[in-house]
Amino acid sequence: MARADDRSRWDGTYTHDSRSGDELCPYKSPDVVVKNGEFSIVWNVRAGDARPIQVGVIHGTVRPSGMVIVDAKVFNPMRADSRAVVEEMGDSVDELKKLAADFSIRFEARDIRTMSLSSPAACSGHWNGTAPTDKDAGTAKVITDAKVKPAPALAAGSSTWDAIYVHTGSYSTDWRCLKAVDKLTVKQGRFSIPWRLDARNGRGESFGEMVIGSLDGSIPATGKTKLRTWFSVNELPPEIAAGRTPAATLDTVRALAPTMTFATEGSSRKARLTFGDTCELLFAAMSAPSTAHVSSSGPLKKPATTAPKVSVPSKPSAPSKPSKPSAPSKPPPRPAGKKNGAECTLSSDCASHNCDDDRCSGTFDREYAEGMECEENNDCASEDCDQGECQ
């Protein structure tokens, strides 16, 4: 980006190439030498016999944009022979002065650097210079004035809004509205947007874009941004101001008051910059908030957090020892059989048939025999009683 103090950007020699217009337009002008941004063009008119007659001088100061501040002067007093030639063609000195006020000159860098002169009276002139240099690259020019002090840093805002925001949309109906930036960086709750304008003046001449200052902001937790307008110039550049009706000044730009808010929509953070109802710029953060929840209707609120439940594995229980099998329960003792009312008390009674006892029959119910006490050792041989008693 070129700066206003780059006065030598267009320095060089420009060779006269062509001209058009009536007899009062610059005629057979010699080559033009630009030094430290300054130059002069000899203003000759064409006499009836095609002789060049000098009637004045066109001074110029070229700006980094290529626009020229023109100061065309008609000789006063004019030499008598020159005045006589002008009057012989049916013209006057006053007509020359009117033409002098309308000259426009600009420099451009294409395949070669060129200088062109024009006027509403259809005058034109063309000069060719040298090949462009690296200084000619780029279109946006940062305009600064050495007398303007740099703006102090704003107080930090809420870091919750820190992010890189991308431009998502805009509209403008006013030439004073700053142009959108592709990315807006918010750091420590602060940001700065270059005040970049289309360098187009009231005469319809366009010189690309120009940066004349910045719009700085500090964002509190509520998102209602505190804005400061700062300009790096004391006057509105002529690339923008020239030819405007009513006259445009820096105060004209200051009168356009900005408003900016940051808010959330769902999980997204967004910003909206407006200048009344004439301009709007929209931005969206590239990432969602990472540590806090932002409320679009009030200050930030930290999300409620609860400690995660951690399951502690239970201590494995010792394997259970196999239980000792319990001895089978003994069935209730069966009553001894009776024979003629006599109880059988000994197994030998079975042989005498003097008693009636199930234990003496082959159909003896062993379900009841198990667990019955062996009353004598000889009962063990018959396996008609609980053998555990014989161990």
- Helix, strand, coil percentages, rounded to 5, for the chain: 15, 35, 50
Secondary structure letter of residue 194 according to DSSP: E
* Residue 367 clears pLDDT 50, i.e. is over it: no
111-115: average pLDDT: 93
Q: What is the pLDDT of residues 151-201, one digit of tens each?
A: 889 999 999 999 999 999 999 999 999 999 999 999 999 999 999 999 999
Predicted confidence (pLDDT) at residue 310 exceeds the cutoff of 70? no
- What is d(CA 32, CA 41) in angstroms, rounded to the nearest whole number? 6
Comparison of pLDDT for 36 and 388, the residue scoring more: 36
Class of domain 12-136 as given by CATH: mainly beta
Which residue type does 23 have?
E
Question: pLDDT digits over 254-278, tens only?
Answer: 999 999 999 999 999 999 999 999 9
d(CA 115, CA 86): 27
Tokens of 364: 């003896």
The rounded mean pLDDT for the chain is: 80
Say which range, 92-101, 110-119, 212-221, 314-323, has the weakest mean pLDDT: 314-323
Q: Please tell me the pTM assigned to this model.
A: 0.64
The domain ranges of the chain are 12-136, 142-285, 338-390
Q: Determine the Cα angle at 18 with ends 14 and 24, to 5°.
A: 105
Least confident of 86-90, 228-232, 265-269, 373-377: 373-377
What tokens appear for 85 in the block? 């030639």
Q: HSE on the CB side for 373, CA within 13 Å?
A: 8
Question: Mean pLDDT lowest for which of 219-233, 284-298, 367-381?
Answer: 367-381
Q: Is the dihedral of CA 246, 249, 253, 254 positive or negative?
A: negative
Give dist(CA 262, CA 169) in Å, integer.
15
Predicted local distance difference test score (pLDDT) of residue 320:
55
CA distance 201 to 241: 6
Each residue of 305-318: b (16+ CB within 10 Å) or e? eeeeeeeeeeeeee
User: What element of type H or E holds 166?
Assistant: strand 163-172
CA atoms within 13 A on the CB side of 234: 5
Residue range 110-120: average pLDDT?
Answer: 92
